[in-house]
Structure 1
Amino acid sequence: MLNIYIVRHGETDTNKTGAINGSATNLPLNETGIKQVEALRDSFDINKIDAVYASPLLRAQQTAEILDRGQHQIITDDRLQEMNYGNWDGKDTRELQARYPQVFDELGYFKDNYSDFCTGESYQHLAARLMDFWHDLVTKHENEAVLLVFHGTASRSMVQNILGIADIALVGEMQNAGVINFTVDDQSKKAYLRYYNRVAPDKFFLEK
C-alpha cells in the first residue's frame, strides 16, 4: 500500500489577516507559521518518508524544509501551486464578500462561479492539474510513504476529486500545518481517506 501524507503550509500574514492567499501571493511563513510547522515536525517521523514533494511557493518550500530536516531532496512540482486567483489575489476577503456575495458558499469559500467575476483560475483547471500530478504520483510510487506539502484550496480540490465528491463546498479547508492521510492500493490505485485535518501535538504514526 502507498501512504500519502498531505500537509498544508504554516500560517502567512495573508492567512492571519484574512486576505486571499493564492499563487501570486508568495509570502514566507510568519512567526506563528514557523511555530506551527515546528510543532508538526516534532510529531512527525520524517525518517519513515520515502519522498517529499512541494509546491514551488515560498510558504510551502519553507514548510517542507522544516519538516524534512534535510533528510530528502525536496521535489518541486508546479502542479501543486495554490489556486491562481488572478486580480483578486491578496484582496481582503471581507471586502469581496460584501461586493460579491453570490460567489461565496455557506462556509465563506469561493463557489465555482467566482472566476466569472475576476481573472482567476477556474476550479476545473485547478482540479485538472492536481489530478494530473496525482495520477503520476500513484503510478510512480508503490508500497512507500510520500509527503506532499502545498496549500489550502488546492488540497480541498485534491480531496474532492480523489473521493469523487460532487461539490467542493462539501470539503472544508484544513488548518495551517494540518495533515491529511490517504492510503492507496498498489494494484487498483483506489484511494482511502484515513484522516483529515489532524494537527500537532497529535503523534503521527506513519505507515507504509
Structure 2
Amino acid sequence: MTQKTIYLIRHGETDFNRRGVVQGSGVDSDLNEMGRAQAMAFFQAYQHVPFRKIYISGLKRTYQTVESFIELGLPYEKLTGLNEISWGVMEGKAPGNLENEYYRDLIEAWASGNTARTTDGGESPEQVAARQKEAIDVILSHPEEDIILIAMHGRAIRILLCWLIGQPLSTMDQFEHSNLCLYKLQYDYDSKTFTIELANDTAHLLSLAIA
C-alpha cells in the first residue's frame, strides 16, 4: 500500500490578518512579528519530520512561513494553483468578516450551494478548486515524496479540504483555519482517497500564548 502523508498549514499572521483586512491572491503581504514567531514555533515542533519536499503558493507569506525548513536544504516548489482565492474588489479593504454586507451575502450564497458565484472581480470557489486540482495532480505525481509539507491560505484550504474528501464546496466553512494551523492528511494511492488525521491543530503555538 503506497501512502503519502501531507502536512498542510496555513501561513503565519500578517498585519492584514491582524487588522481584519482582506488579502486574497492580489495582496502579497509579509508575515508580521507574530507570524514569524508562529513560523518558528512550527519549525521547532516539526523540524524532525523527514519531509521529502515542500510546496508553497505563489505568495511570499507562504514562503516566509516555511523558510526555516528551506534553509535546511529541503527542496521546494511554488505552485500558483495553491494561491488564495481572488477576492477581487475586496482585496486590501476591511472588514473581511460577516459584519460586511457584501461579504456576508457572498458567504451565504456559497453555503446555500451557489459555489459558482464569483467575488466581484475575482474568483468563485469552483474556479479555485479547478486550479487546485491541477496543483494536487502535480503533487500526487510524485509518490516517492511520501511525506510533504504544503503551505497555503485560509479560504483556499477550506475549498481544498472539501473536494479532497468528497464533500460539496458549500460545506467549506466547517473547516477552521487559524494562522499557522495544521491539518494532517493521508492519501492512499490504491484507493485514491484522502483522510484527515488532524484538523486545525495549533498545539505547536501554545508556547506563544504562554510567553
TM-score tier, shorter chain, comes to 0.7 to 0.9
Of 22, 25, 34, which aligns to 1:23?
A: 25
| Structure 1 residues 69 and 176: CA distance shift in structure 2, 3 A | same
| Structure 1 residues 155 and 95: CA distance shift in structure 2, 3 A | closer
Whether contact under 8 Å (1:153, 1:173) holds in the other structure is no
Counterpart mapping for 1:69-88 below 5 A: 69-88=71-90
Of 76, 92, 115, which aligns to 1:112?
A: 115
Whether contact under 8 Å (2:22, 2:96) holds in the other structure is no
Q: Give the counterpart letter for 1:184 in structure 2.
A: Y
Alignment partner of 1:7 is 2:12:
no
Counterpart mapping for 1:26-37 below 5 A: 26-37=28-39
Q: What's the offset of the Cα at 1:19?
A: 1.0
Normalised to the residue count of structure 2, the TM-score between the two structures is 0.84
Cα separation, 2, equivalents of 1:75 and 1:177: 19
| Structure 1 residues 136 and 143: CA distance shift in structure 2, 3 A | closer
Counterpart mapping for 1:1-208 below 5 A: 1-93=3-95, 97-100=99-102, 101-105=104-108, 112=115, 115=118, 118-142=120-144, 144-166=146-168, 167-201=170-204
Cα separation, 2, equivalents of 1:141 and 1:122: 30
Q: Percent identity?
A: 26
**What's the secondary structure of 1:75's corresponding residue?**
strand
Cα separation, 2, equivalents of 1:165 and 1:5: 20
Whether contact under 8 Å (2:182, 2:200) holds in the other structure is yes
| Structure 1 residues 34 and 186: CA distance shift in structure 2, 3 A | same
Whether contact under 8 Å (1:40, 1:67) holds in the other structure is no
**What's the secondary structure of 1:10's corresponding residue?**
coil
Q: What's the offset of the Cα at 1:190?
A: 1.2
| Structure 1 residues 49 and 172: CA distance shift in structure 2, 3 A | same
Question: Can you give the 5+ residue segments of structure 2 that lack an aligned partner in the other structure?
Answer: 207-211
| Structure 1 residues 194 and 115: CA distance shift in structure 2, 3 A | same
Which sits farther off after the overlay, 42-51 or 155-164? 42-51
RMSD: 2.5
Cα separation, 1, equivalents of 2:141 and 2:130: 17
Question: Can you give the 5+ residue segments of structure 1 that lack an aligned partner in the other structure?
Answer: 204-208
**What's the secondary structure of 1:201's corresponding residue?**
helix
Q: What's the offset of the Cα at 1:70?
A: 2.7
Cα separation, 2, equivalents of 1:32 and 1:172: 23
Normalised to the residue count of structure 1, the TM-score between the two structures is 0.85
